[in-house]
Amino acid sequence: MHNLIIKILIVCPQGFSCCTLEMEEKLSQQSRTDVKAPVHQLSSNLQNTFTQRHRHFDQFFRELLSNAEKSLNDMFVRTYGLMYVKNAELFEHFFSELRHYYSHGSSAVNLDDMLADFWTELLERMFRLVNVQYEFSDSYMECVSRHTEQLKPFGDVPRKLRLQLTRSFIAVRTFTHGLVLMPEVVGKVSTVSASQSCVRAAMKMLYCPYCTGQVALKPCKNYCLNVMRGCLANQADLDTEWNNFLDAMLGLAERLEGPFNFESVMDPIDVKISDAIMNMQENSIQVSQKAFQGCGQPKPNMAFRTRRSPKDSGFPGRFRPYSPDARPTTAAGTSLDRLLTDVKKKLKHAKKFWSTLPDTVCVGERIAIGDECWNGTAKSRYESVVIGNGLANQVSNPDVEVDITKPDMVIRRQIAVLKEMTSRLKAAYTGTDISFVNEDAGSGEESGSGCDSPPCDSDGDIYFSTPAPAKPRIIKIQPDKQPSSGTRLAPFSLALAVMALLLALLTPHTR
């Protein structure tokens, strides 16, 4: 304590002082607070901005997921009626896995496996439905499942959907992580306390005029800059990685507006899955024949012919075609677009935050303009040169003693954290999740397909690039065709037969 007082006593110029020893000590404490206050204020504004943006995005993505589920449910109830209702848990599971993946990433859900399981399960259920006249054992169905790849019952939909979901989910998850990380980094950096020599310099700048009787005298601008650059030397060294990180965030934001647009993947997911189901219905004869060739001729279902006629059930009303709302195919004009426009502005604004802190602090009320200012010894022009930002430049700081061989460890750590996040953002930009790069090394050929050039958008992707919304297909009813033996039926009337049979099969349970 004694040492500290000695130091404080020599802060202000020798000679006349109206400050007692106790006052100087108090003023020194005050200086510590004063030097931190504006930095604290600016940092917490920045923290609030991005905490809020994260909340908006997170809420929006979760809403998109639940809206997609609701809209699929509504459409499928209208279009497939009981057939859907009876199998609704398959789709509920699908969406709950997507939500889980959104929250916890690939450590919780392997998206490729999850999607493969979904299509296999859907194939199994539909295969039984389009072949009700046969009986299938579990081992027979396992055989059919094994042939899913060759049978391609759902056309190109599973492949496309996997690609779209993978890259847009990775983009969304990484982007929201970036938004969470910003306030964390700012928070940790703003806890770094001012060094002893910084506090001394600040006290000399802020309170020595007062102790020498020049109460209202404010520091010269360049004097203030040198003191603050000395005090914030370590913080300024964050700037390079901070800016790289912000550029990577901005890059990914562009991806989210364009080819990795989560909204235009999730919003029409009902139409996409419905397309897959239509594909299966249209291909059901070929798919079944191929399955019979590969897995053997199934046993006829003895109960089949004793069920009541589909004519009695009066179900065709269930096939009311759905009319999809005009769905956006790009982010333009959508809610995601608005969110991204706003967040991009904030990200750009946050650039150079750390290196410009001294300039942001040394303005207005805190300094005096011109030569009628406190230069550290007198009311006079400040003669020293303004030194640069960052630790290395502080060797020649005339006002703050800085040990340039001892970088602040908290700040070093945050530089490393930002570096790592930037790599993840850049990988997400190409559709890759590098947080699990080792586990994913052997998986899907598309997951790492570098999308950093235009070809990415032009893979004939009807859900992204075509301005016209994907035209949903409608099951056409041909009511005068009597369903009899499955194999001779046209696909549409086969679907009709399936519905009738399903309804017939369900009836006993509802009684």
Closer CB to ligand NAG, 377 or 396, in the complex: 377
Closer CB to ligand NAG, 395 or 468, in the complex: 395
Q: Rounded to the nearest whole angstrom, what is the least distance from the CB of residue 380 to ligand NAG in the complex? A: 3
Question: Are the C-beta atoms of 33 and 60 separated by less than 8 Å?
Answer: no
Interatomic CA distance for residues 448 and 428, integer angstroms: 10
Q: Rounded to the nearest whole angstrom, what is the least distance from the CB of residue 227 to ligand NAG in the complex? A: 11
Q: Rounded to the nearest whole angstrom, what is the least distance from the CB of residue 374 to ligand NAG in the complex? A: 9
Closer CB to ligand NAG, 376 or 472, in the complex: 376
What interhelical angle do 269-282 and 491-510 show, nearest 10? 110
Question: Are the C-beta atoms of 428 and 101 separated by less than 8 Å?
Answer: no
Tell me how far the alpha carbon of residue 243 is from its chain's centroid: 19
Interatomic CA distance for residues 408 and 237, integer angstroms: 10
Tell me how far the alpha carbon of residue 500 is from its chain's centroid: 44
Q: Rounded to the nearest whole angstrom, what is the least distance from the CB of residue 223 to ligand NAG in the complex? A: 7
Backbone angles phi, psi at 134, to 5 degrees: -115, 160
Closer CB to ligand NAG, 74 or 383, in the complex: 383
Interatomic CA distance for residues 236 and 230, integer angstroms: 10
- Residues in a beta bridge with 299: 135
Interatomic CA distance for residues 300 and 225, integer angstroms: 89
Closer CB to ligand NAG, 288 or 375, in the complex: 375
Q: Rounded to the nearest whole angstrom, what is the least distance from the CB of residue 8 to ligand NAG in the complex? A: 21
Q: Rounded to the nearest whole angstrom, what is the least distance from the CB of residue 377 to ligand NAG in the complex? A: 5
Closer CB to ligand NAG, 385 or 437, in the complex: 385
Closer CB to ligand NAG, 356 or 384, in the complex: 384
Q: Which residues bind ligand NAG (CB under 6 A)?
A: 375-378, 380, 382-384
Q: Rounded to the nearest whole angstrom, what is the least distance from the CB of residue 375 to ligand NAG in the complex? A: 4
H helices present in 147-295, as ranges? 148-151, 157-190, 196-211, 221-231, 233-236, 239-257, 262-266, 269-282, 284-295
Q: Rounded to the nearest whole angstrom, what is the least distance from the CB of residue 379 to ligand NAG in the complex? A: 8
Interatomic CA distance for residues 197 and 226, integer angstroms: 13
**HEC secondary structure over 315-330:** HHHHHCCCCCCCCCCC
Closer CB to ligand NAG, 6 or 378, in the complex: 378
Interatomic CA distance for residues 404 and 390, integer angstroms: 9
Structure tokens at 165: 């979901």
Interatomic CA distance for residues 301 and 340, integer angstroms: 56
